[in-house]
Amino acid sequence: MTEHFEILVVGAGPAGIAAAVSAAVAGKRVGLVDDNPAAGGQIGRGGADQPIAARHWMSRLDRLDGSSVTRLQGWRVFDVPAPDTLRAECGMECRDLSYGKMILATGARERFLPFPGWTLPNVMGAGGLDAMVRGGLPIAGKRVVVAGTGPLLLAVAAHLARRGAKILAICEQAPLGRLIQFGAHLIGEPSKVLQGIEYGWAMRGARFYAGCRPVEVRGSDKLAAVTLEQKGKQWEERCDYVACGFHLVPNLELAALLGCRIEDGFVAVDDLQRTSMADVFCAGEPTGIGGVELALIEGEIAGLAAAGRTQNAEKLARRRKRGLGFVGALKEATKLDPRLKTLAKDSTLVCRCEDVSFGRLREHTSWRDAKLQTRCGMGPCQGRVCGAAAEFLFGWDAAQIHLSVRPPVFPVLVSSLRTPDKLKVQDDGFTKTVALQLKETE
């Protein structure tokens, strides 16, 4: 079954919502496809705890009826079977979505770095624990240590504190001097200063440590305590959850599959959010990690530009430029301390899908070599977790890790790989194997 949209938006986070609303208001028939159970993105799902600007766009989306925006919630895009078509799966169903123009708003994921014990249950991503709580996990009275790097740590800690969690410590790997520089950059942005004050108020009583990192998690079948280190001093915090994320990495799989040009690890776009591929736009974190305000502006620009309202889109250019300054400041502030490379022991797992340890990976010289010899990055997450870690730990080629993408970009049902006409067989080990298996069982 194929559905056609004048404009198809992939991802219903802040950028995707702003894009879909802007294009629909300009009179286009829009499809908004997203793999989560509810729209809003990672920061906006399941509750009112989202930035005011994002809430505004979300309510605009909710006011639009189904004739202008078709919401495909719970659908996961996994292939590009033709130049103007995406293929998506939901439960046991598979559908083709064709488009005139497409806006990629696929967001970002957290970077996880391995340290002893990080695979124990109740050690989660910072955004990960936040998502669990938004998804109904009771957190009141629970002891939480938040660790890693980036402003997401503060946002998560503040949100969990508001829900009654006891935030024992917030450990930021960046040194204090760098954080002060970052803070100085924010003074020109009243919305971010206000946000900072709000966070500070929510977390009053929590201890903040700069230049601090988690070195080990202890526990038998689940987390019992985490050891932290600051200025050579180590101490242990007994806790219920460790929420740990080392800033964000963009979700580039679909952009790479479409052939969009990637520069310095992000999708290259012009002032109107156009990628190198005709009729493909990109907005939000895949073009540079810049937070929700920038994502909303970029989404609006992309939506207007894709709908042909070029002049309206150009009017937003100045606001976007100001936001881009924040991207650079954020990148500088979250630069990873090289000492984080020494946290993993030889027995520490790096690839959680295939249980490949740091010691086994250390023997290899490239991502490809490691994949072939150890199966690192070849489990169901397809390297989405261990790839970014391996890039930092071993300095392996980022393009090889993040851009050698083949369909399906997510594991799917075998039935979803069967096209109505014939099976697509590519010159690629994985797809060929699937095709052969199908033939045998039919």
Partner 1 sequence: MHESANSVTLTVNDILLIVASGTTVTAAMLIAGVPTRRSATGEPRGPLCGMGICFECRASIDGVPHQKSCQILCAEGMTVRTS
> What residues make contact with partner 1 under the rule CB under 8 A?
35-37, 42, 46, 74, 76, 92, 109-110, 112, 119-125, 127-132, 135-138, 221-222, 352-355, 379-381, 384-385, 411
Q: Minimum CB separation from partner 1 for residue 253, in Å?
A: 10
Q: Which lies closer to partner 1 via its Cβ, residue 36 or residue 195?
A: 36
Q: Minimum CB separation from partner 1 for residue 387, in Å?
A: 11
Q: Minimum CB separation from partner 1 for residue 362, in Å?
A: 18
Q: Minimum CB separation from partner 1 for residue 429, in Å?
A: 20
User: Residue 405 class from Cβ within 10 Å (0-12 exposed, 13-18 middle, 19+ buried)?
Assistant: middle
Measure the CA–CA gap between 413 and 404, rounded to whole angstroms.
Answer: 22
Q: Which lies closer to partner 1 via its Cβ, residue 96 or residue 354?
A: 354
Question: Measuring CA to CA, which residue among 182, 152, 186, 155 is closest to residue 322?
Answer: 186
Question: Measuring CA to CA, which residue among 371, 374, 397, 398 is closest to residue 382?
Answer: 371
Q: Which lies closer to partner 1 via its Cβ, residue 142 or residue 178?
A: 142
Q: Which lies closer to partner 1 via its Cβ, residue 77 or residue 313?
A: 77
Residue 182 CA, chain-centre distance (Å), reads: 22
Amino acid (one-letter) located at 110: E
Q: Minimum CB separation from partner 1 for residue 315, in Å?
A: 33
Please answer whether residues 104 and 15 qualify as being in contact, where contact means their C-beta atoms are separated by less than 8 angstroms.
no
Rg of the chain over CA atoms, in angstroms?
Answer: 22
**Looking only at Cα atoms, what is the longest distance across the chain?**
64
Measure the CA–CA gap between 67 and 121, rounded to whole angstroms.
Answer: 44
Q: Which lies closer to partner 1 via its Cβ, residue 119 or residue 227?
A: 119
Measure the CA–CA gap between 281 and 295, rounded to whole angstroms.
Answer: 13
Q: Minimum CB separation from partner 1 for residue 416, in Å?
A: 13
Q: Which lies closer to partner 1 via its Cβ, residue 76 or residue 320?
A: 76
Measure the CA–CA gap between 218 and 91, rounded to whole angstroms.
Answer: 37
Tokens of 150: 């980036």
Q: Which lies closer to partner 1 via its Cβ, residue 122 or residue 273?
A: 122
What distances in angstroms separate CA 44 from CA 8, 219, 438, one per listed residue? 21, 32, 40
Q: Minimum CB separation from partner 1 for residue 159, in Å?
A: 13
Q: Which lies closer to partner 1 via its Cβ, residue 8 or residue 223?
A: 223
Question: What 8-state DSSP symbol labels residue 274?
Answer: B
Q: Minimum CB separation from partner 1 for residue 404, in Å?
A: 18
Token pair 């991503």: residue: 125
Element (H, E) at 190: helix 190-202
What distances in angstroms separate CA 434 from CA 82, 85, 372, one per listed residue? 19, 22, 18
